[in-house]
Amino acid sequence: MAERYNFGAGAGGVNVETTVLGADEIILNMGPQHPSTHGVLRVKLRLDGEKVVGSECVIGYLHRGVEKIAEHRSYQQFAPYVDRMDYVAAVSNGLGYCETVEKLLGAEAPPRARVIRTILTELQRIASHLFWLGTHALDIGALTPLFYCLREREEILKIFEKYCGARLTTHAFRIGGLQYEAYDELEKDTERFCKDFDRRVDEYESLLTENRIWVGRTKGIGVLTADAAIAMGVTGPVLRASGVQWDIRKSMPYAAYDQYEFSIPTGKNGDTYDRYLVRLEEMRQSRKICLQAIENIPAGPILGKVGKVLKPPPGEVYHSIEAPKGELGYYIVSDGTTQPYRVRIRPPSLINLEALDQMIRGHLVADVVAVIGTLDIVLGEVDR
Amino acid sequence: MPYVLPVLFALVIVALLPLVAGYIVLVERKVMADMQVRLGPMRVGPHGLLQPIADAVKLLLKEDIIPESADRLVFWGAPLISVTTAMVALAALPIGPFFQIAELNIGLLFILGVSSLGIFGIVLGGWASNSHYSLLGALRSAAQLVSYETSAGMAIVGALLLAGTLSTRGIVQAQAQTEVWFIFAAPVGFFIYLVASIAETNRAPFDMPEAESELVAGYMTEYSGFRWALYFLAEYTNMIVVASIATTLFLGGWLRPFASTSYLDFLDWLPPLLMAGVAGYCFWRAPKQPVAVQKMFMAAVGLLCIVLALVLIMPMAAPRDSFLASSKAGIHGAFWFLFKVGAYIYVFMWLRFTFPRYRFDQLMRLGWQFLVPLSIVNVMGIGVGLALHRQLNWPAAPALILGIVLTLVAGAYLLATGEKHEHPRVGEEEEEETPVNA
Amino acid sequence: MTNDSEEKQPPRPAEAEKPAGTPAPSASPSASGGTPSGETPGKPAAPSAPVAAAKPPAAITPPKPAAPAAPAKPPGPPPPPKEAPPKPAPLDNDLVKRYKARFGGAVVEALLDRKQAILVIAADRLLEIARYSRDEEHFDLLVDLTAVDWPKREKRFDLVLNLYSFSKNERVRLKALVAENEPVPSVESVWPTANWLEREVYDMFGIVFEGHSNLKRLLLPEEWQGHPLRKDYDILQQDEAWVRENLGIESGQ
């Protein structure tokens, strides 16, 4: 099969093959430069007319060897690198990494740090989902929601900027807690954002949820059954939309999630529409968590007892968090030196993307775009 | 010298059209920005007023790239076909009672025929590019045009039945005589034409052929620079053409609203007041512009509007029976015609920024399973109404309303049955399927 | 704090209670799914599927039940006093016993490191053990598959599989020692998601998986030389070769 993907130079080089039925099968090279592959994803589509009969993802265009880099940096030095993986949810990446190293050290962040971490991570989840919603809608042809979504995301980025000075690749946390004390109006800013936000989500919904075209474009598209989803290792909203109510925040709580009330939305049909609804609801739940968290931020130190030089005892640890896109896991092996012996990052985007082929078979080219969008991949994370 | 005036008009149109198209793009971007809580182009000229010029210069100066494996001749000629046919179609449209290049007794047929030829430009361009995206875009475009031309044609037939003539001028005059714009006599027909014309001009939510998120730019993918600009020009010209047809057929052409109601004649003051208002706004904003050039430019725009307002007001202020007074119909007619065309195009933009894009098969289903049958029923409905009116001497209003009701019933039926086909669900209906359980 | 559950998971109890409590959790993936074919996690059944709307919510959430078994309070605000630095220790709970009973010597070692269970297994029986883990122990989700290189060891690679069980809310790590050039059975037939993960491991470490449907590089280009995540991979060599070939000069690095 693999040899059949044989391209002439340049995107869309004509290469027609004959199928069993005698019809001409077109091979369409989508990406790596394409408006809606969300970066440098390249999908080779085999088309029968406009129907997809097979596909293959070609990834690695953004491969930076993050895991190799980690082996040559000290634990603290590596922390900023993880922000560059899922660059629309850098805070979550940082949280996962810091907690993993803490676990490796046998240390823990103080309560105050955990609560602030939770707030920022949930804000980040909202921001990530907003960005997803905007671009997903854009892929399906709705131009306008993107700007509404970015308007709200901007508010969140402003909070990040006030907190740590950076908007995108924040490097917000430190191993053992936080680097920065929360600024004075963090609660107020968060509250102001949250107060408005519910109404804003309703606004997006009014544009899309019951729109005939939107429903027509998303319902029944890219269906992933619960079994298939688990078999493909899919996690996060994609898995939940298939009806599996599993969220690491609940099942193996980290940071301060065990202190807050929230629910895990699930879908039923595992199609693109359900994934859309699940993510919208997740934003609402994240807002709820934020509101609960700012009510009571414990006082105390923000940095736990970790040394200046981190030398975790030999051993290994796997720790994962519920990143906006799914289970973000870090598997770190220590050999007792200041540099990790091996860092493995389990990127949710990569593994969710693997299900793409299965989801688009039999659909049309237009649906490929919708499904890529609904998987919410970030190529920085896929390729690392 | 009967040809002098038409040739003059033709020259004016050909010369102005690129400019107009450019400014429609600007307006579109501004409208889009307004709907998307942002400002849109603001850099080139005050409020981005010179943006189209800058864009045009940029496009003209760009390197002219022809893909190596493209069919050079066809690649070169295809945009010309598109743009030529689009412009030729404008010839038979009456922009007001005086401004018309050619009055043809088969005017509408001519416009339809010529503008349908534009598809050749798209298909050939897509094919000549030798790229899959282009090819898919071109094929989609062809299929789409064929499908929607059918229902658009049928919708037009409905209006033609009412007018009884193919001459564009005659159609407007028929509306003047009956004192009813055909949008009220055949609302369903207007709706069908609206949808079909969006599809025909490849505008969102039917912009399948150039669906940027799927096919990059569809048939235009391999084009750049001037040739790309020609396609763009063709697209916007086509928009003007369909908007003009709709205006002529359904919106009373150059007629003022309530044209024959003499006690509403004060409405004639509306156009000059509008222009004066725009001018006032320009003068108010001019001092607030940051740069001297922009101040001057803004003021110049205001002056232009004042001049237009004066032009519009002149025939009304002039003594009766003078030449100026007799030109009122022409000047005001042109204003109203362009105003309606503008409003129609605005609806295009509005829809574009509101809706997601249809998928190709959905588009086809909508076209063939809903619009085509509905347009046929529409023709029959109007036919029944007219027969009752003309043969059985029913009063016009109830007869036509009966026809409209018939059509609407058919439409509702189509909608209901179409719904069933659209989502072949496995299970039962469920609306609260998604969220939340704690 | 995630993985605490599993170590003290010695709780045969947790597992034993399961049957009673499980039906619901196990149903979870399919329960609310419009897909009647649910079977993965636990008992296939999922009979109550259609009615999912009403109360299943409570029942559905698989996670919590298992958690109580874990004494180490997960993340509560006051961190439990930390004593000696964590280090791997032998583990002998019910899970391990079951594996050992089934596979005998193939389970080379069982460890507990940072409260996380690790089973070191023989590479040649990986497929078998994987299938058992999924079907009998309900580790439905292959979370991750990766490798670690220890060049000085006789069998230089650790092949690491992180598994998760929805019904038990428990993680376990399978670790197989693999020598260079020693083919490993692919677990793609057990967890389809292993397809890309194994490709990545092949790409980065050069471990060859037997029975893989499409074993080629995932992230790096086809013509890439070497396997970068091996400890002895020298980035400079690569660079010099590239520079020489493409630029025709000596690399300055």
Encode pLDDT of A30-42 as tens digits: 878 777 777 788 8
Q: Do residues A260 and A289 lie in contact, with contact meaning Cβ atoms separated by under 8 Å?
A: yes
Q: Would you tell me how many other CB atoms lie within 10 Å of the CB of residue B236?
A: 22
Nearest CB partner across the interface for C57, out of B432, B433, B437: B437
Give the mean model confidence (pLDDT) for residues B241-268. 80
CA pair distance C35, A63, nearest whole angstrom: 37
Residue recorded with tokens 């897909």 = C35
| A106: contact with B, CB 8 A cutoff | no
Computed on alpha carbons and rounded to an integer, the radius of gyration of chain B in Å comes to: 24
β partners of residue C174? C119, C161
Tell me whether residues A111 and C144 touch, CB distance under 8 A. Answer: no
* Cis ω before A340 (30° cut-off from 0): no
| C72: contact with A, CB 8 A cutoff | no
In A, which residues are within 8 Å of C82 by CB distance?
A: 106-108
Token pair belonging to A35: 């408006």
Phi, psi of B285 (to 5 degrees): -80, -25
Token pair belonging to C150: 């220890």
| A362: contact with B, CB 8 A cutoff | no
Tell me whether residues C144 and A344 touch, CB distance under 8 A. Answer: yes
Direct distance between the N- and C-terminal alpha carbons of chain A, in angstroms, rounded to an integer: 27
Q: Do residues A183 and A163 lie in contact, with contact meaning Cβ atoms separated by under 8 Å?
A: yes
Please give, rounded to a whole number of angstroms, the shortest distance from the CA of A71 to a CA of chain C.
9
Please give, rounded to a whole number of angstroms, the shortest distance from the CA of A202 to a CA of chain C.
23
Q: Do residues B162 and B174 lie in contact, with contact meaning Cβ atoms separated by under 8 Å?
A: yes
Q: With 80 as the cut, is the pLDDT of residue C229 above it?
A: yes
Nearest CB partner across the interface for B434, out of A140, A267, A364: A267
Q: Do residues B194 and B201 lie in contact, with contact meaning Cβ atoms separated by under 8 Å?
A: no
Structure confidence at residue A10 (pLDDT): 36
Q: Of C26, C82, C158, C196, which to mutate for an interface test with A (greatest number of A Cβ within 10 Å)?
A: C196
Encode pLDDT of A180-212 as tens digits: 888 888 888 888 888 888 888 888 888 888 888
* B137 alpha carbon, distance to own chain's centre: 22
Structure confidence at residue C36 (pLDDT): 36
Tell me whether residues A319 and C67 touch, CB distance under 8 A. Answer: no
Please give, rounded to a whole number of angstroms, the shortest distance from the CA of A359 to a CA of chain B.
17
Of A302, A290, A274, which Cα lies nearest the Cα of A370? A274
Tell me whether residues B438 and C60 touch, CB distance under 8 A. Answer: no
CA pair distance A143, A137, nearest whole angstrom: 7
Tell me whether residues B426 and C34 touch, CB distance under 8 A. Answer: yes
Give the mean model confidence (pLDDT) for residues B407-429. 63
Alpha helices in A106-185 (DSSP H): 111-139, 145-164
Buried b (16+ CB within 10 A) or exposed e, A197-219: beebbeebeebbeebebbbbbbb
Token pair belonging to A337: 């030196």
CA pair distance B237, B229, nearest whole angstrom: 12
The pTM (predicted TM-score) of the whole model is 0.79
Please report the ipTM that was assigned to this predicted complex: 0.81
Alpha helices in A307-355 (DSSP H): 348-354
Dihedral over Cα of B36, B42, B46, B50: its sign: negative
Q: Which of A152-161, B22-31, B162-171, B209-218 has the lowest mean pLDDT?
A: B209-218
Q: Of B359, B370, B422, B431, which to mutate for an interface test with A (greatest number of A Cβ within 10 Å)?
A: B359
Give the mean model confidence (pLDDT) for residues B220-225. 80
CA pair distance A198, A287, nearest whole angstrom: 8
Of A263, A262, A238, which Cα lies nearest the Cα of A326? A238
Give the mean model confidence (pLDDT) for residues C168-189. 87
Of B158, B161, B165, which Cα lies nearest the Cα of B188? B158
CA pair distance B109, B115, nearest whole angstrom: 10
Please give, rounded to a whole number of angstroms, the shortest distance from the CA of A86 to a CA of chain C.
17
Tell me whether residues A342 and C148 touch, CB distance under 8 A. Answer: yes
Tell me whether residues C64 and A258 touch, CB distance under 8 A. Answer: no
**Residues in chain C whose beta carbon is closer than 8 A to a beta carbon of chain B?**
34, 53, 56-58, 60
Q: With 70 as the cut, is the pLDDT of residue B273 above it?
A: yes
> To the nearest 10°, the Cα dihedral for B39, B40, B43, B45?
-100
Please tell me the number of Cα atoms within 13 Å of A130 on its side-chain side.
Answer: 27
Structure confidence at residue B379 (pLDDT): 87
Structure confidence at residue A358 (pLDDT): 86
Token pair belonging to C178: 């693999």
Structure confidence at residue A128 (pLDDT): 92
Residue recorded with tokens 């790409």 = C203
- CATH fold, domain A66-383, is Cytochrome-c3 Hydrogenase; chain B (1.10.645)
Structure confidence at residue C70 (pLDDT): 38
Structure confidence at residue B420 (pLDDT): 60
- In chain A, where does the domain assigned CATH 1.10.645.10 lie? 66-383
Tell me whether residues A108 and C79 touch, CB distance under 8 A. Answer: yes
Q: Which chains would you list as touching C if contact means 3+ CB atom pairs under 8 Å? A: A, B
Interface size between A and B, measured as CB pairs under 8 A: 128
Tell me whether residues B437 and C56 touch, CB distance under 8 A. Answer: yes
pLDDT band at C19 (very low <50, low <70, confident <90, very high): very low
Residue B53 buriedness (CB in 10 A; 0-12 / 13-18 / 19+): middle
Nearest CB partner across the interface for A217, out of B36, B359, B434: B359
Q: With 60 as the cut, is the pLDDT of residue A5 above it?
A: no
Please give, rounded to a whole number of angstroms, the shortest distance from the CA of B350 to a CA of chain A.
11
Residue percentage of chain A with pLDDT more than 70 = 94
Of A19, A22, A12, C200, which Cα lies nearest the Cα of A4? A19
Classified as helix, coil or strand, C227 is coil
Buried b (16+ CB within 10 A) or exposed e, A319-334: bbbbbbbbbbbbbbbb
CA pair distance B26, C20, nearest whole angstrom: 68
CA pair distance B379, B407, nearest whole angstrom: 9
Nearest CB partner across the interface for A277, out of B37, B136, B435: B435
Encode pLDDT of C57-79 as tens digits: 333 444 444 333 334 444 444 44
Q: With 80 as the cut, is the pLDDT of residue A234 above it?
A: yes
Q: With 70 as the cut, is the pLDDT of residue C100 above it?
A: yes
CA pair distance B75, A72, nearest whole angstrom: 54
Q: Would you tell me how many other CB atoms lie within 10 Å of the CB of residue C206?
A: 18
Q: Which of A16-20, A328-332, C116-120 has the lowest mean pLDDT?
A: A16-20
Tell me whether residues C34 and B427 touch, CB distance under 8 A. Answer: yes
CA pair distance B270, C97, nearest whole angstrom: 91
Tell me whether residues B356 and A142 touch, CB distance under 8 A. Answer: yes
Please give, rounded to a whole number of angstroms, the shortest distance from the CA of B355 to a CA of chain A.
5
